[in-house]
Structure formats: structure tokens, C-alpha cells
Structure 1
């Protein structure tokens, strides 16, 4: 016989007008709850109450009421409750939810999503022709959302447990030779030549190079400082803000061979004010990615270069490869590339310029070795800028 009401050590059991029994108990937060299930006998209710108590003690308890919330509602709330997300990241997450997650799993209560459902969802996406990289991104987002649901005690464990499902294995990207970099710069309009060289030999992202201002270049010290980045949303809105991570704030040493090109560009195409954008559109407006592709006839140009699959980001990839070939330490490479990590964050205030300068010197050597020197010591072809 169960203890009388008021004498029970944990929770309570009450008999409903229907004759069935219902349990009530305090959750870990102290709020009184019922698991939403009724029992035919008091003994069954007693066993259920003991099981709930054991789960709370072991940390395996989940909130039965919140487990009924639909994934689409919880995921949207998950995004909204992260105020520090960049606008572009919010846009990417919302797109992944809209295209790949909500149509398949959005109406399911979170508590009903198990590993089998996740596996079937992933297989469905792949069978529908969604790219493996896109599927991996969607999987990582779903895993992050459900990990928070686990932390919120909505589900006992994250059902995203498919080994390797969140890993991307992109095709190997092309790496240009030094000669190809200078050739590409020769092939684009004159007001964009220095952009190609700077993006490559300073390992800059598109958003970083597009946001550079005159004051960010110190040609005497041969450095470029990344202070902000330009983000373009799918709506066309441009946002200028800090780089995507703390490590993105950095000063990069430049090889001597690109300085004449930058000096000429500043004199011919950049306003005299310190805040003037270094690279602009043909009419002086903010340079957008689509405008750059149109002005350079990118697809046609890289095809003539002999690298038809070249993306703009491959210029940074090329620069990163040149830097790695210099033999620089991992720390120096990560600082130059602006990669974010715990280690990089810890040493951010204590970094030195020695390895960074060594990279620039190694690039100079590479440029001069692969191109005939002129009398003034600069590389041939486009490098001959006074």
C-alpha cells in the first residue's frame, strides 16, 4: 500500500474522477510537474514516480511537457536567443532550416526525434541530390540545436550520433603558381589588379579585402591591418563590422614585390582620406562581389588562365599555401591567416612579428625565383611597376 497523501517522501499520487491515478512531483528546478500519463493502479503510479525520482538523481530526467514542442519552433527560438550571431550566420542557419530541416523534421516533437529518424532524414537529403557539404552543414546545425535541448533537459541525449555525418570533405582546391597570380592580375581591369595581389599574398578573405581603407595599409612598414570585414546578405544589404572572430583582427606583413603595385593603386584609384576605401567599383561605389565578377569577367578570365574552377577564395588558399611552404611555425601561420582557436586567442596580445616577416620574405624569394629579376630587383611582367 502506498504512503498516504502528505507522507510520501517524493512527489504525490492522486486518484482522478475517472478512477485512474496521476503522479505529481517537483522537477530539478522546484516546479511541480506531471508527466502527462495516467495509470490504471496506484502501484503502477508508484513505480512511475520512483523511476522519475531515480532519473532526477542520476541527471537523466527530461521535461515531458517541453519535449512536446515542435523542432521548427524550438530551432527558430534557438537562433533568436543567440544575439551574438553575425547577420550572415543567422541568414545561413535560417536557410538551412527552411530548405533542409523543417520540411522533414519540423513538425516532429523534439522528444520523438531519435537516431533512426535523423539517419533517415540525412539519407533522404542525399538521395534527393543535396550536396554532401550542404547536408553536413545541416546536420551540424541540427546537432547543435538538439545539444541545447539536451542541456535544457528536454531530451535525455542528443540523437545526432551518426559518425562522420557532420564532416565536410570538399574537393581539393586549386593552388596557383606565383606566375599565375601575376598573370591573373594582368588579366583583370587595372583598378582591381592590386586587389588580386593583396588577397593572395596577404591571405585575405573577400570581406576583409573589400573593407580595407587607406589607413589600413602601411607601405613603408609593408603591412596591411585587418580591422573590419564586409558582409553581404542575400537581400543585398551590406554590413561592415569586425571580422568574424577575434583572430581575424590582425596585421599581416607583405612581400616587397607587391608594394609598387599597391603604391600605384593608392595613387590612381584610392581617395586621399585615411578612411577612403582602397578598392571600389568603377564609379567609386562600394565594391560588391557580383560587381567584381562582372568587371573581371571572372569565369572567362580564369578559364583563359587555365584554371576554370578557380574561386576568389582560392587566392587566399594560394597565399596560405605559400606561407606554409615558408616553414613558418603553426602559431605564425594561424595568426597570419586569421584562424580562430583557443591557443590563438590566448596568445593574441603577445604575438611577435618575426615569423610574420619571415613569411613575407619567403614570398619575395619565391616571386623572384619564379620570375626573372629586373635591374631594380622586382619580378618581371606585371611586377615591373615603378
Structure 2
């Protein structure tokens, strides 16, 4: 369908009383050479639902303006693309992503506001080049983050993913011929290797003050932590995360209907996420394989039963029902993942243990399960991973005791082989009767050959 448009003449003269431009209503426009010609093109509604108009001016004659308007109407290209800047397109794109989970939407919005728009926002969408995008990433790598910290490869990869998704959408809308972010060179993303808090690692941390990005406790340190927090009202949630490796959002989103304590099973059906406005939302788990059923041990079942009794007593005093959530605040409201993180940090500080993140308990649960003899497939299902490679390479850390046990097993094998009598591995010599029988058969075959 043809795009509607028209041409008109206007000037910059102003009303002497109001100081407002007269525009197309100036009486001098009938005078030859006064003012210039403009075109206006009505553009269909875009992704944001808003209608736009393209205006171009400066034409010296009506004929020139009409010719330019006709070219735009028949070019087959979307004239909206010539209007949009990167900033405008990013706003339109993020507003159209209605299916994103709150945490993902929050991260995308932060990337757009803090990095993409400040570096690329003023560039027309059609004019965005590989050089522009590469320059942005190079600048971020040199200057660091908005908090003046070094930009990690993880941050760069996430920024790139956000920009690539937005520009892919622009390509699909025929607003951009190609996606220049496809050709950008970035530092290789390497997953941090988890470190076990051995005595040497603790001494180095105390000396330098530098802690590993990902760290796990030993079994003894884990036991010390659980003993130290045993009297806390939220002991059960940290016991559960420590032993079974739940994500913090999964733990916060648990409802009593998801638990079958008689069968010692928990089903993960949802997770709690914080909205930008401060509210909470119940969302699907992180991935399809995150929907899972987890078996519980007797000590965890006991901890959850005790927690249920304490919670019911608290809620009775508050005249609240807790919304059916397993873990609630002291006011009977749903627990937020951020509160779990802050409380965990305070617990570590009071326990005197070396620091780890709350998410590191998930790594620790996988590694302790391996140490206890669990199969990798069982650990994968417990954590809800889609690939056993992710479980083996990222989440399972061979703790020193397991490594020492393996080394001792190999040494025992070698020692056992070395205790065999000399020559025990050589082929046995044939007995005399067998040797004579073989010689007789040989003579018989030679005799038959001679007769033939």
C-alpha cells in the first residue's frame, strides 16, 4: 500500500507579538524566493505502536520536493529506518520483549542504559558500522565499567549478546541490511575455575586480601558452617542449598505444596525474581531442565519439619498465612533472593570461615556429592543441568581428599603388581608330555608329505 505524503512551503519568520514561527502561514510565502519547500511522509506504526512522520526540508522548488517524496514512496525501503537512531531502536526493541523473565529484562535494560546508548545511541541505525561497534567495546575494555572497575570478559560477552539480539531484530524488520555486531572481536570467555579453600589458599587470601571468583568449602568447613548457623530461623534454607544445590531463586520460590516430606522429595516448579519496581514475581525455572524432583536425606527432612513448626508459630502470632511459601520473612512475607544473599554474607562473617558466594554453595553441593560417590548423571539431574559437560567441567570440583584417594589407589595398584614373583608375567613353558605329543604330530606330518 502506498505511503501517504505531501509537500508544503514554509519559512522561519516569527509573529512579532508571540515570537512563534509562522511556518506555513507566513503571508510572504507567495513571494518568489521566500521560504523553502518541505515534504512530509506518513509512516505506518512501528513496533511500539506509535505513528511517525518523516519531514525533510530545504528544497528550493516544489518540483524538487515532489520528486524526493515520490522516490521515498516508491523506493520499497522502510523510511522509518532513516529516522531511527540506535537509542530509539533499543528502546523500541526492549519494550517489545514481553516474554523476558524479570531478571533478564533488568539485565538487558541495564546494558542498554549504562553502555549501549551512551556509546552508540546517537548513531542512525542505518549507519551503524562494524567500526562503531568495535570502538565501543575497545573503549569499554580500556576505560572499564561504569564503576571504574576492569571490564571482565563475562560483561563484554553479555553486552555483545544484548546488542546482537537487538540488531538481529532490526535486520528481521528490514531496518538494517546486516548485523555489524557479528564481526566483533572480543576476549575469549573462560569460565572461572573453582578453588577449594585449603589451608594454603586461606593463608594466601589472608596475606593478599584477594579471593577467588569461585570458591568452595571442604566437607569439614561446610560442617562448621552448618553448626554455626544451627540456631538461625533460616537455617533450613541454607541447609537445603548446601546439601542439594538449589539456586537462590528456586529456594525463595518453594511452596509447601512442592514438598513431600514423607517421601523425602522436593519438586522445583518455579523461582522467585525481583521486579524493577521492587515487587516479586513467580517465574518459570531458569531452563526447561531446571524443572526437576530432588531427593532429600533424613537430616534435611528433619530440618524442614522443624522449620515448618517454627514458621507456623511465627505466622500464628502475626495472623498471617505466609502465602504457602516455605521460607518467609519475620513479617510473614515471601522471601526475596537478595535477602538470602545478604543474610548468607553476614553468616559467613560471623562464622569466621573463608568467604564464598551463595551460588558457590551450589558448586560445593555438586563436589561433595562426587566425593560421596555419586554418579555424574545423578549430580546433573540434581542440579537441573541440560548437559553433563556443564556439570563435569564447571560445577564439579575434585576436592583434595578425592584426589589423594585416587593417587593412593594408583600407587597400591603399582605396588601390588611389583610384589608378583619374577617371571610371573611370562608365558608358561609347556610340560614334557605336551612337548612330546607335539613332536610326534610334527614327524607324522613330515612323513605324510614325503609319501605324497
TM over 0.5: yes
Distance apart, 1:119 and its partner CA:
1.0
Question: Matched residues in 2 for 1:169 and 1:68: separation?
Answer: 41
Distance apart, 1:251 and its partner CA:
0.9
Out of 220, 229, 247, the residue aligned to residue 179 of structure 1 is 220
| Equivalent position SS for 1:252 | strand
Q: Which runs of structure 2 are paired with 1:315-354 in the superposition (5 Å)?
A: 315-323=361-369, 326=373, 328-330=375-377, 332-339=378-385
Q: Is the 8 A contact 1:203 1:336 kept in 2?
A: yes
Residues 1:149 and 2:149 aligned together: no
Most deviating of 179-188 and 105-114: 179-188
Residues 1:262 and 2:304 aligned together: yes
Segments of structure 2 that go 5 or more residues without pairing to the other structure are 1-61, 146-150, 195-213, 316-320, 388-401, 406-452
Query: Residue 162 of structure 1 aligns with which residue?
Result: 184
Q: Render the CA deviation track for 1:327-383: whole Å, top value 9, x for unaligned.
A: 5355x5443323357xxxxxxxxxxxxxxxxxxxxxxxx9xx9xxxxxxxxxxxxxx
Most deviating of 199-208 and 283-292: 283-292
Out of 232, 242, 253, the residue aligned to residue 284 of structure 2 is 242
Judged with a 3 Å threshold, the aligned counterparts in structure 2 of structure 1 residues 168 and 70 are, in CA distance, closer, same or farther, namely: farther
Out of 245, 266, 288, the residue aligned to residue 336 of structure 2 is 288
Question: Matched residues in 1 for 2:100 and 2:252: separation?
Answer: 21
Question: Matched residues in 1 for 2:118 and 2:353: separation?
Answer: 41
Question: Matched residues in 2 for 1:113 and 1:252: separation?
Answer: 49
| Equivalent position SS for 2:222 | helix
Query: Residue 58 of structure 2 aligns with which residue?
Result: none
Distance apart, 1:120 and its partner CA:
0.7
Distance apart, 1:174 and its partner CA:
0.8
Question: Matched residues in 1 for 2:187 and 2:126: separation?
Answer: 21
Most deviating of 62-71 and 279-288: 62-71
Query: Residue 40 of structure 1 aligns with which residue?
Result: none
TM-score using structure 1 length: 0.65
Most deviating of 202-211 and 149-158: 149-158
Q: Is the 8 A contact 1:139 1:166 kept in 2?
A: no
Question: Matched residues in 2 for 1:120 and 1:34: separation?
Answer: 32
Judged with a 3 Å threshold, the aligned counterparts in structure 2 of structure 1 residues 164 and 223 are, in CA distance, closer, same or farther, namely: farther
Judged with a 3 Å threshold, the aligned counterparts in structure 2 of structure 1 residues 280 and 20 are, in CA distance, closer, same or farther, namely: closer
Query: Residue 354 of structure 2 aligns with which residue?
Result: 307
State how many pairs are aligned: 294
Residues 1:107 and 2:154 aligned together: no
Query: Residue 265 of structure 2 aligns with which residue?
Result: 223
Residues 1:253 and 2:295 aligned together: yes
Distance apart, 1:21 and its partner CA:
8.3
Query: Residue 209 of structure 1 aligns with which residue?
Result: 251
Question: Matched residues in 1 for 2:186 and 2:164: separation?
Answer: 12
Question: Matched residues in 2 for 1:321 and 1:33: separation?
Answer: 65
Q: Render the CA deviation track for 1:276-300: whole Å, top value 9, x for unaligned.
A: 322222343332345445555x246
| Equivalent position SS for 2:272 | strand
Segments of structure 1 that go 5 or more residues without pairing to the other structure are 1-15, 26-30, 36-61, 342-365, 370-386
Which structure is richer in relative contact order (CA contacts within 8 A, separation 6 or more)? 1
